[in-house]
Structure 1
Amino acid sequence: MKDRQKIINEYKDKVLAVESFGNNDKIYCDEFSKEDDLLHYLYELNCHEISLTEDGLNFIKDYYSLEKVALMILDGIKKGVDYKYKTKDEIIKWLKLKGEIQAD
C-alpha cells in the first residue's frame, strides 16, 4: 500500500467531487482524507448532492480501499444513517459506478 502522504501529494490538485447544486464547489483530497468528512460527502453522493469524479474514486481506492469505505458506510447504516445500498458488495458496486459515470 502506498504511503498516505504520497497519495495526498498525488491528488492534491485534482478535483475528487463536485457539488451538484449551488456554486458547483469542487472538493479536493483535504476533505476526502478525513474519515468523518469523507463519510459526509459519501452521504451527499447517496443523496445526489455531489458527483464523484474518476479521480475521486481512485483516491478512495488508493487512500482507504473500497472495502474499508464500504465497511465504514455499513457501520453508519447500523447507527441509523440511511443509504440506498445495504451490503458491502452493493456499496462497492455503487461507488465504482458513481466514479465511472463522471469519466464518460
Structure 2
Amino acid sequence: MDRVPLNRSVVTERGAQLADATGFDSLSLAALARSFGVQTPSLYSHVKDLADLRDGITALALGELAANIGDAIAGRSKKDALVGFAAAHREYSTDHPGRW
C-alpha cells in the first residue's frame, strides 16, 4: 500500500472524514494516525494537538458550507434565496454529520 504524503490539508481532510464516520467528539489522533498507517507522533508535524485538528476541521467545514450556500443562493432573491440557504445547510449537515 502506498503511503499518502502527509501535510496539514491531507491530515485535516482525513480527520473530517473520520469525524463524519464516527462523530466529531469521537475523533482521536490515534485513530487518525492508524488511518494513515503511521504512529501518532507523526501527525505532530502537521497539527499541534487534537484541538488544533478540530479547529482545522471546523475551518474546512465552514469553507465548504459557505461555498455550498453561495451556489445555492446564486441568482436568487428573497424567499427563494432563503429556501436555497436552508436547503444548503440541510444537505451539508446530512452529508457531513461529523463536521456539522
TM-score after normalising by structure 2? 0.36
Higher radius of gyration, 1 or 2: 2
TM-score after normalising by structure 1? 0.35
The structure whose RCO (Cα within 8 Å, separation 6+) is larger is: 2
More strand by share: 1
